[in-house]
Amino acid sequence: MAPVPKGGTIAVTGAAGFIGGWVVRRLLDKGYRVRACVRDPGDASKTAFLKAMPGFASGRLTLHAADLDQAGCFDAIFKGCNGVAHLSHLSGYLDQDAVRRVCEHVIGSIDASGSVTRVVVTSSIAAVISEMDLQELVRRPVLYEDRYPDQSNPRRTPERGQGYSMGKLVAEQAFAQAAQRSGTWDAITCCPGDNVGPIQSSHQQTGGPWQQLIAGMLKGSCPQTGVYRPWMTVDVRDDAECHIGLLESAEVKNGERYIAWSTDARRVEDLCADIDRLLPELGHDTPAVTDDFPERIRAREAEMRRIWAGCDLRNERIRALTGIVFRPLDESLRDCVESLLSVGQVVPRLRPGFSPFAPN
Ligand SMILES: NC(=O)c1ccc[n+]([C@@H]2O[C@H](COP(=O)([O-])OP(=O)(O)OC[C@H]3O[C@@H](n4cnc5c(N)ncnc54)[C@H](OP(=O)(O)O)[C@@H]3O)[C@@H](O)[C@H]2O)c1
């Protein structure tokens, strides 16, 4: 199906979110018309940053109210759009039937639009790598687009924490199948890694969860990451570029997935200490990492770290398609910290007696 025309009209769901906000900004930068979908356009705490974008003043950016939980929620918004970047989270991922229903709401509006030809569905690397049994990562350590978590494991249930990964796969399949049926649009999946980078609005400091964890580090807390997984990062601005590249590409095919990550993986303890390395002027008091996992998990720390070190998460498919050169994590982390301080007004914990350089 056709890619979106340059300067065409794109609807972005989850537009007030961390990634969605950057997709909106970069689409405007590139000359597109954008319909930003949020639940409450009147909620200034979430939408003021969108309304401050230059395209809003001219009407090239418009804001629209839509709640995914309502059937037909996007009917009027998608009419006349060329593409949809579907970044929104759902209200929850525990109930997989509810996930399916919500997908049908969005799909119904795409089918009814009569104009949309390309949809980019935001999934996650969780839909590639999330395993109930970590030994599965030993058996199949190459983490690429055609790899799926072991769906046959009976312990892979929402109740055991796999709802997000399962729900993302439900969505990927629902969109690809609906697009196939329609014959008028196609659905391409983007699987981003752990997004780090600048927030554009204060409310985004509580999302993520990665920027929220960095805000916590600034304030003095650094919990160990689940199953000792290193952060597998992508800059949020690069993630936005990947989404736009998938909207624009004439080469992608319905149902394809693209992993968006930089290849910059880092242990949480190193990342936390890197705040001081990158911004020594700040005087950040690097907190110790806390590990509240039960003893049976802590006993397996070395083994789990070895398993992750043996994994090979790939990104060549998106690089070949879009030509993107990913930013290094150092740049993403520095910009994330500075935005948390300036936009998010986070008050950092500084080393005792440290007096930050006071600019004139
Ligand atoms: N952040 C990451 O590192 C990461 C990594 C991989 C994949 N992803 C995926 O990328 C997407 C965006 O993530 P993000 O970090 O940007 O999330 P975010 O900052 O939490 O933003 C998500 C947006 O989803 C919207 N939303 C939630 N429930 C909704 C509903 N019932 N109806 C309409 N909108 C609803 C929220 O809209 P309101 O403004 O109305 O609250 C919010 O702006 C998600 O699908 C996430 O799973 C994120």
Question: Which 3-state string (H, E, C) describes the chain?
Answer: CCCCCCCCEEEEECCCCHHHHHHHHHHHHCCCEEEEEECCCCCHHHHHHHHCCHHHHHCCEEEEECCCCCCCCCHHHHCCCCEEEECCCCCCCCCHHHHHHHHHHHHHHHHHHCCCCEEEEECCCHHHHCCCCCHHHHHCCEECCCCCCCCCCCCCCHHHCCHHHHHHHHHHHHHHHHHHHHCCCEEEEEEECEEECCCCCHHHHHCCCHHHHHHHHHHCCEECCHHHCCEEEEEHHHHHHHHHHHHHCCCCCCCCEEEECCCEEECHHHHHHHHHHHCHHHCECCCCEECCCCHHHHCCHHHHHHHHHCCEECCHHHHHHHCCCCCCHHHHHHHHHHHHHHCCCCCCCECCCCCCCCCC
Over residues 22-65, the pLDDT tens digits come to 999 999 999 999 999 999 999 999 999 999 999 999 999 999 99
pTM exceeding the 0.75 threshold for the entire prediction: yes
Which residue minimizes the CA distance to atom 2 of ligand 1? 195
| 70 ligand 1 Cβ < 6 A | no
Q: How far, in Å, is the centroid of ligand 1 from the Cα of 277?
A: 31
Is the pLDDT assigned to residue 162 strictly greater than 90?
Answer: yes
pLDDT reported for residue 354: 82
Over residues 252-292, the pLDDT tens digits come to 999 999 999 999 999 999 999 999 999 999 999 999 999 99
Radius of gyration (C-alpha) of the chain in whole angstroms: 21
Distance separating alpha carbons of residues 1 and 78, to the nearest angstrom:
17
Beta bridge partners of 290: 223
| 122 ligand 1 Cβ < 6 A | yes
Over residues 171-223, the pLDDT tens digits come to 999 999 999 999 999 999 999 999 999 999 999 999 889 999 999 999 999 99
pLDDT reported for residue 359: 56
Which two tokens mark 39?
């639940």
| Mean pLDDT along residues 9-34 | 98
pLDDT band at 137; cut points 50, 70, 90? very high
pLDDT reported for residue 5: 97
pLDDT band at 360; cut points 50, 70, 90? very low
Closest CA to 341 of 221, 205, 223, 238: 205
CB 209 within 8 A of CB 275: no
Fold annotation for 9-342: Rossmann fold (3.40.50)
| 249 ligand 1 Cβ < 6 A | no
Which residue minimizes the CA distance to atom 12 of ligand 1? 87
Q: How far, in Å, is the centroid of ligand 1 from the Cα of 235?
A: 16
Say which residues have a Cβ less than 8 Å from residue 352's Cβ, sequence separation at least 6: 285
Please confirm, yes or no, whether 6 is among the known catalytic residues. no
pLDDT band at 91; cut points 50, 70, 90? confident
pLDDT reported for residue 166: 96
| 141 ligand 1 Cβ < 6 A | no
Is the pLDDT assigned to residue 1 strictly greater than 60?
Answer: yes
| 73 ligand 1 Cβ < 6 A | no
Kindly provide the b/e burial profile for residues 36-70, where b requires at least 16 CB atoms within 10 angstroms of the residue's own CB.
bbbbebeeeebbebbeebebbeeebbbbbebebee
At 249, phi and psi to the nearest 5? -70, 135
| 79 ligand 1 Cβ < 6 A | no
| Mean pLDDT along residues 324-343 | 98
Q: How far, in Å, is the centroid of ligand 1 from the Cα of 140?
A: 29
CB 254 within 8 A of CB 187: yes
Which residue minimizes the CA distance to atom 21 of ligand 1? 17
Over residues 231-240, the pLDDT tens digits come to 999 999 999 9
Q: How far, in Å, is the centroid of ligand 1 from the Cα of 194?
A: 13
Q: Which atom of ligand 1 is nearest to the CA of 90?
A: 28
Is the pLDDT assigned to residue 114 strictly greater than 80?
Answer: yes
Which residue minimizes the CA distance to atom 7 of ligand 1? 124
Q: Which of 30, 51, 79, 168 is catalytic?
A: 168
| 189 ligand 1 Cβ < 6 A | no
